[in-house]
Amino acid sequence: MNANSIFPIPALDDNYIWCLHHEGDAVVVDPGDPQPVADALRTWGLRLRGILVTHHHYDHIDGIPGLLAAFPGIAVYGPDDVRAHGVTRTVGEGARIRLDAPPIDMRVMALPGHTRSHIAWCGGGVLFCGDVLFSAGCGRVFEGTMETMAASLDRIAALPPETLVYCAHEYTLDNLGFARWVEPDSPALARREAEAKRLRAAGRPTVPTTLALERETNPFLRTRTPAVKAAAERHAGHPLDTPAAVFAELRQWKDREYD
């Protein structure tokens, strides 16, 4: 599996449904809407062989029934959560999914925080992380604690730097605005914003991104960086003793004052 055989199917307002394919066989990740998936499969002459799901939010699962109707019997791998309607094979931390067509060999990481049962799919240098890590940002913490989410992001940050990060939304430009509040003097952020503007102006996605670029520019992966820690402490008005406390301050700052 490499980046040449993965393409985004834009859906809803700003979701990307990722399609992995090889010799006419395809798998999609987080189909929140069946129609754009059906259209893309027809356009490219692909048979749907399976579905991977990261979490139960509607914009990631609502396309499942329509796709199962069109492709009866395909497996839908996803989190063990009664709210993840349509999942037929539940998986958890460490599970390994191997398919022959298309050839896929991926491991499941349990990454709670955005939701309590959120999982990511990791293998072949590729990460499908749903709404945990975004390009230049991260998901909101709806379930669980800030510490839980910070730990999930730490696990992603420990993957190899060349890992391609396929997140589920096009949020890059918006996220970069907040990142520049945190690190206004970062040349890497200025470069990244210029590049993201160029891509969006050309109607192109800004994802996948790489973990190396995220470590350089994503404030939520930079809670141990002195400039980021200092910005969070200035905003809090007091010292923050742990990376998780820095993370919590950043997340609340963005939730309350930026979005």
Which residues make up the interface to Zn ion (CB under 5 A)? Answer: 57, 131
Complex with Fe ion: residue 67 or 132, whichever CB lies closer: 132
Tokens standing for residue 158: 């420990």
Complex with Fe ion: residue 12 or 199, whichever CB lies closer: 12
Catalytic member of 114, 154, 185, 241: 114
Scanning 126-134, 176-184, 232-240, 242-250 for contacts with Fe ion by CB under 5 A, the matching segment is 126-134
Residue 86's CB: how many other CB atoms inside 10 A?
Answer: 18
59 binds Fe ion (CB under 5 A): yes
Tokens standing for residue 27: 């798998």
Contact 111, 118 (CB under 8 A): yes
- Each residue 10-49 as x (binds Fe ion by CB under 5 A) or -, in order, gives ----------------------------------------
Question: Applying CB under 5 A, what is the total number of residues that bind Fe ion?
Answer: 2
174 binds Fe ion (CB under 5 A): no
Beta bridge partners of 209: 165
- The site partner of 183 among Zn ion, Fe ion, none (C-beta below 5 to 8 Å per kind) is none
131 catalytic per annotation:
yes
131 binds Fe ion (CB under 5 A): yes
Complex with Fe ion: residue 171 or 253, whichever CB lies closer: 171
Minimum CB separation from Zn ion for residue 201, in Å? 27
Scanning 1-9, 51-59, 85-93, 95-103 for contacts with Fe ion by CB under 5 A, the matching segment is 51-59
Omega within 30 of 0 (cis) for the link into 208: yes
Tokens standing for residue 257: 């004052």
59 catalytic per annotation:
yes
22 catalytic per annotation:
no
Minimum CB separation from Zn ion for residue 228, in Å? 25
What DSSP character marks residue 169?
Answer: B
CA angle 44, 47, 49 (to 5 degrees): 135
- The site partner of 222 among Zn ion, Fe ion, none (C-beta below 5 to 8 Å per kind) is none
Please state, in angstroms and rounded to a whole number, the distance separating the CA atoms of residues 38 and 67. Answer: 7
Backbone angles phi, psi at 183, to 5 degrees: -130, 70
Please state, in angstroms and rounded to a whole number, the distance separating the CA atoms of residues 169 and 32. Answer: 11
Complex with Fe ion: residue 59 or 170, whichever CB lies closer: 59
Complex with Zn ion: residue 131 or 214, whichever CB lies closer: 131
Catalytic member of 55, 56, 118, 174: 55
Minimum CB separation from Zn ion for residue 142, in Å? 8
Beta bridge partners of 166: 128
What's the first-to-final CA gap in the chain, in angstroms?
Answer: 36
> Whose CA is closest to 213, among 167, 259, 150?
167
Distances (CA, A) of 75 to 33, 65, 125, 232: 17, 12, 23, 44
Binding site for Fe ion (CB under 5 A): 59, 131
Active site residues: 55, 57, 59-60, 114, 131, 169
